[in-house]
Structure 1
Amino acid sequence: MGDALFLAHRTPFPPDRGDRIRAYNFLRYIGARARVHLVAFSDGDEPVDHTALDALTASHTIVPRTKSNARAAIEALATGRAVSVAAFDHPALRAAVSRVLATQPIDAIHVFSSALAQYLPTHTKARVVMDFCDVDSAKFGEYAREARGPKRWLCAREERRLLAFDRAIARRADASLFVSDAEAALFAEIGGGGRVSVIENGIDTELFDPAADFASVEADGPLIVFTGQMDYQPNVAAVTWFATDILPIVRARHPDARFAIVGRAPTPAVQALAGEHVIVTGEVAEVRGWIAAAAAVVAPLRIARGIQNKVLEAMAMARPVVASTPAAEGIDHAGTLRTGADANEIAREVIALLDDRVAGDLLGQAARAQVQRRYGWEARLQPLDALLGLQPNPVRAEPVEAHAPDTHFDTLSANGVGRRR
């Protein structure tokens, strides 16, 4: 085959959050089988590791996203588009895609996040794979049901407009990917159509290994841990719910238990939870030490789509996990997770793990074994060979002009709409 174009809404390196982890592993897999040209946005004033991208790609163009949430909303309302689409509309990225298509022999296009599908050429002979990951329109529907006033109207509008956009893209794509059977079934149920496939998330079980070398965290008393990007609203809602409604039930039985919220960019609402029994770390250099120190890892998300990387990471680290029903839905855990549908059920499962730490350790070991059997990245991504026409044997090429002025842009300060995870 010829070259591949990889479009991403966020630079897929470093793989330090859910969407980046999936995009990075897809990019690495495709790049081991074809010359791949990356065109992606960068967030805010984050540094871009061009050396790492050189090793992954034949060329890369990184465009800083400078559009504010307010401007994206105004443009969306004025043009009838979804805000999620308007937020990622940028002339520099459009020019970069056109340049790659005009100068490189592109036989396959992989689009990560449907908002980037607006850059697909109107007519192309290249195979197009659209990685939706989750049914994001359904997420906005859930937001609408919980919101009030203008926010409710805006979220309901976003659900309708984004679903219409995604349906149109699915009809154009040679394959539409989702992260779980449940997400694929939901897309079909709401009229998504197209040729739908499921490629689940994987996990690096050598990196997330309790026997690996990482800095340890000392805990006084049993530690209950949540990990995630802490300016992502479902995560904010999850830790707020746990700290205010679930932790008091747990502490009635285990008064020395503490709750650690581990993740970058905690919002003021998250920071306000910090106290004698709640730790808010902010960004940490090494998340594995916190997971390893946990008597239980929790994922009490009320709104959750697809497979939660935070859950796979904790399972791979052989820690017992208690997840809400939505957070566990996409994971083939074979009974190695404890789940709860409400605050009392989640609290009961956490208490049981704190009551019997030996049973918790055994559950964690079973969880790691399940992850090793089920969620290795190489096995999960093999369907891409047929979908994109990739060569099974590596054909990596040296990067070409990865630092030429017309190949990438300097990173500037930006505000914008972001995904998680």
Structure 2
Amino acid sequence: MRILFVSSIIPYPPVRGDKLRIYNIIKQFNRYHELKIISFVKNEEEKRNAKNFKKAGYNLTTVNLPRITGIFNLFRMVINKDPLQVSFHYSKKMASIIQQETRQNNYDIVYFHLFTVAQYCRSVKNPYSIKVFDMTDATALYLQRYLEIIRNPIKKFFVKFELARIRLYEHIIKIFDVTYVCSMVDLNYLRTRIPLINIRHFTNGVDTDYFQVEKQTYKKHRIIFVGSLPYYPNTDAVLFFAKEVFPKIKISFPDAEFYIIGSNPPEEVKSLASESIFVTGFVEDIKKEYLVSEVNVAPIRFGAGIQNKIIESLSLGIPTVSSKLAVESFDEEIKKFIFTAETADEYANMVSKIFNNSSIRDSMMIECIRLIKEKMTWEKLVNTENIYLESLVEERKKTKLNNKID
């Protein structure tokens, strides 16, 4: 098949959730099909990332979208009802390139990644191309949950304003042949709001070529949190754990250490650094950080989708303590290997339980590793959707042939 990918982000390096997902999907599809990727670049760092992505052998075309242009685009919100993030990513050049590509090339599939580029589905000029929308998360569900914890009235007003626009804009799903989300919770939420749409559960996976279990001596009482820290649910989780949970753990385990690992930590996270709290920023080998830790934590209090930090840690057999919200998207047979908590006391008790029982890691997590490899590898997940999309393409080809005959 010939597939055109359109994304608002450069899928490289795969260092955060949205990049990680599209990078691995492209990587797997590239093994079987002819691919072209079109993406925005917004700054010099993204331009360097684009060059490295091209060097890796991918056919990439970029469209410049400087921050000042995106901000200027927000004035469009005065005359239309598009959400802020959709208006920011408006580009005549992007629309023109997609029109030209789909007019001149016979793409079987045009795959739009993320909510911000769904607007360009109207630029596809080949009526027989299958239009795919990888929404990943239900954005409205994310903002709805965010509203529940906001205390600042001004921020609350603007989030409500954006949420109202997103709920209207979500109906763009109806234009696509298939929409993907990575969580059954998100899928059910969208089906309730927008009936009669073709939406499929395409969960996130793990790259088992990289995340292979190795014999590694872990450090007792070492706790790890992994995540992109500009993403506010991660910042909130880290602040909650460091300020409300970790002091309780230190009472029983004074040598406990908490490692916060993720790119671009904001000042409020950097300020947490102490003799026992380490804010590392980006690290080259995230697998090593997991393996030398005794416990992984994911105290996410709002958000949507599925947590890569949990999939990765489970694939390596690292016990994880998480909020119930963060594990709601996992299969029941995998959920039983994740320890859940809600209050600061519950988190402290669960971490202490793991500290006091080495058999959890040594025996219980072995079965979990097997299950992740069986059900959640990127190769397996993408192959399932590859078969499905090939069937849609074949049906569309039959339709095209019948139209010619008629």
Fold conserved between structures, TM > 0.5:
yes
Asked whether the 8 Å contact 2:218–2:294 carries over to 1, the reply is no
Partner of 2:250: 251
Partner of 1:410: none
Amino acid corresponding to residue 165 of structure 2 in structure 1: R
Q: CA deviation at 1:80?
A: 2.4
Q: How many residues align?
A: 385
What is the DSSP-based 3-state SS (H/G/I as helix, E as strand, rest coil) of the residue aligned with 1:106?
coil
Amino acid corresponding to residue 353 of structure 2 in structure 1: A
Amino acid corresponding to residue 295 of structure 2 in structure 1: A
- Alpha-carbon distance in 2 for matches of 1:363, 1:242: 25
Asked whether the 8 Å contact 1:322–1:349 carries over to 2, the reply is yes
Q: Does 2:179 correspond to 1:180?
A: no
What is the DSSP-based 3-state SS (H/G/I as helix, E as strand, rest coil) of the residue aligned with 1:48?
helix
Q: Does 2:132 correspond to 1:133?
A: no
Higher helix share: 2
Amino acid corresponding to residue 263 of structure 1 in structure 2: G
Moved more, 59-68 or 81-90: 59-68
Partner of 1:226: 225
Partner of 1:239: 238
What is the DSSP-based 3-state SS (H/G/I as helix, E as strand, rest coil) of the residue aligned with 1:247?
helix
Higher relative contact order (CA 8 A, sep 6+): 1
Amino acid corresponding to residue 158 of structure 2 in structure 1: L
- Alpha-carbon distance in 2 for matches of 1:247, 1:72: 43
Consecutive unaligned residues of structure 2, counting only runs of 5 or more, are: 394-406
Partner of 1:87: 88
The C-alpha deviation readout for 1:9-52, integer Å capped at 9, x for no partner, is: 21112222111111012212332332222111235322124364
- Alpha-carbon distance in 1 for matches of 2:52, 2:67: 26
- Against the structure 1 CA distance between its residues 77 and 142, is the aligned structure 2 distance closer, same or farther, given a 3 Å change threshold? farther
Q: CA deviation at 1:71?
A: 4.2
Q: CA deviation at 1:118?
A: 0.8
Q: Which aligned pairs between 1:43-192 and structure 2 lie closer than 5 A?
A: 43-46=42-45, 47-50=48-51, 52-53=53-54, 57=58, 59-68=59-68, 70-71=71-72, 73-121=74-122, 124-147=127-150, 148-167=152-171, 169-191=172-194
Asked whether the 8 Å contact 1:12–1:21 carries over to 2, the reply is yes
What is the DSSP-based 3-state SS (H/G/I as helix, E as strand, rest coil) of the residue aligned with 2:191?
helix
- Alpha-carbon distance in 1 for matches of 2:354, 2:137: 31
Q: CA deviation at 1:300?
A: 0.5
Partner of 2:3: 4
- Against the structure 1 CA distance between its residues 141 and 82, is the aligned structure 2 distance closer, same or farther, given a 3 Å change threshold? same
Q: CA deviation at 1:98?
A: 2.1
Amino acid corresponding to residue 115 of structure 2 in structure 1: S
Partner of 2:376: 375
- What's the Cα RMSD here? 2.3
Partner of 1:31: 30
Asked whether the 8 Å contact 2:319–2:360 carries over to 1, the reply is no
Consecutive unaligned residues of structure 1, counting only runs of 5 or more, are: 393-421
What is the DSSP-based 3-state SS (H/G/I as helix, E as strand, rest coil) of the residue aligned with 1:159?
helix
- Alpha-carbon distance in 2 for matches of 1:192, 1:83: 25
Moved more, 152-161 or 188-197: 188-197
What is the DSSP-based 3-state SS (H/G/I as helix, E as strand, rest coil) of the residue aligned with 2:44?
coil
What is the DSSP-based 3-state SS (H/G/I as helix, E as strand, rest coil) of the residue aligned with 1:39?
strand
Q: CA deviation at 1:150?
A: 2.3
What is the DSSP-based 3-state SS (H/G/I as helix, E as strand, rest coil) of the residue aligned with 2:67?
coil
